[in-house]
Amino acid sequence: MEWKGIKGTVLKDVSMKRYTSMRVGGPAKLLCYPADRQDLAAMARRLNDKGIPYRFLGNGTNVIVSDEGIKEALVRITKMNRLHFTKTPDGAVAEVGGGYSLKRFISECARRGLAGLEKLYWIPGSVGGGIRMNAGSFGQSISDTLTAVDIMNSSGEIIEKQPGKEEFSYRASPVGRSDCVINARFRLRSSDAKKLQEDMDRVYLERKKNHPMEYPSAGSVFKAVGDRSAWWFVDRAGLRGYRIGDACVSEKHTNFIVNLGHARARDIASLIDKIKGEVFSRLGVKLEEEVELWGFNG
């Protein structure tokens, strides 16, 4: 589909099965790929003028889209994937596009002997999605080394922000729903490239051992409760392996819901409700979703 004056691509009625790691979901009305910053701003203005709500999609590894699809347009900035390093006395500042793969970015840093993000290795999202979610693992968070972001706000303005550490918390960031992280800067310190690769290999092996990487999923479904991971509550509620259709509480890690093949989004949503209900009635604990549910009523 062609939009006059827009350089990038706009696709219509695109099934979200292909664009989310859970491999479920109906169509998005529009899927927009801006060619560059100016194009992104022009697309946002066009969508605003037409009264079409929109949101940003990274690698779709933390979202579950309903079977009916979503009314919003989705904007993906995969073409904004510039990567640049500037040396500093004790390491480097990495400047990276929001659409860049987080895993690839971390590999590029490690290859240059730059430390600070290696424990996030193998988180399957994009840099922009990682910042919005304040992604973290093995005691490290993306916000630990983040110094600045270029954000496009809902009016299409691009502004630089230097968010303080206190603006981030567990899986939460100051990036609003209608903000787009188009670029980010990280301050990384010098380290030994070989040692970093070994750390990353360990992270990968730990993940492979504990996470059901062999099935589609959206990672951890629920947030930790205080210091306790959500899997503990799901397990204590007796739900390991519990299944609705092809949506199943993973036997390997009970905070993962896996798609055994033909799960529908409604099976996953029903399983989430079931888990929340059982954990509350048996243990008196309210679990809160870490994954985002898009296009579901209520």
Ligand X SMILES: Cc1cc2nc3c(=O)[nH]c(=O)nc-3n(C[C@H](O)[C@H](O)[C@H](O)COP(=O)(O)OP(=O)(O)OC[C@H]3O[C@@H](n4cnc5c(N)ncnc54)[C@H](O)[C@@H]3O)c2cc1C
Map the footprint of ligand X across residues 250-279, applying CB under 6 A.
none
Based on CB atoms, which residue is closest to ligand X, 219 or 295?
A: 219
List 61, 145, 191, 259, residue binding ligand X (CB under 6 A)? 61
Q: What are phi and psi of 54, to 5 degrees?
A: -145, 160
Based on CB atoms, which residue is closest to ligand X, 77 or 263?
A: 77
Map the footprint of ligand X across residues 166-185, applying CB under 6 A.
175, 179-181
- Is residue 133 part of the contact set for ligand X (CB under 6 A)? yes
Residues classed as catalytic? 171, 220, 290
- Is residue 136 part of the contact set for ligand X (CB under 6 A)? yes
- Is residue 98 part of the contact set for ligand X (CB under 6 A)? yes
Closest to 90 (Cα-Cα) out of 196, 190, 192, 186: 190
Site string for ligand X, 216-255 (x = CB under 6 A): -xxx------------------------------------
Based on CB atoms, which residue is closest to ligand X, 91 or 257?
A: 257
For residue 232, the minimal CB distance to ligand X (Å) is 16
Candidates 43-51, 86-94, 133-141, 259-267 — which segment interacts with ligand X by CB under 6 A?
A: 133-141
- Is residue 56 part of the contact set for ligand X (CB under 6 A)? yes
For residue 209, the minimal CB distance to ligand X (Å) is 13
Quote the CA–CA distance of 42 and 297 in Å, as a whole number. Answer: 30
Exposed / middle / buried, residue 85 (Cβ in 10 Å: 0-12, 13-18, 19+): middle
Based on CB atoms, which residue is closest to ligand X, 122 or 278?
A: 122
| Torsion angle (degrees, nearest 10) of CA 46, 50, 53, 56 | -20
- Is residue 292 part of the contact set for ligand X (CB under 6 A)? yes
Based on CB atoms, which residue is closest to ligand X, 64 or 237?
A: 64
- Size (the chain), residues: 298
Residues that bind ligand X (CB under 6 A): 21, 55-63, 77, 98, 123-126, 128-130, 132-133, 135-137, 175, 179-181, 211, 213, 217-219, 292
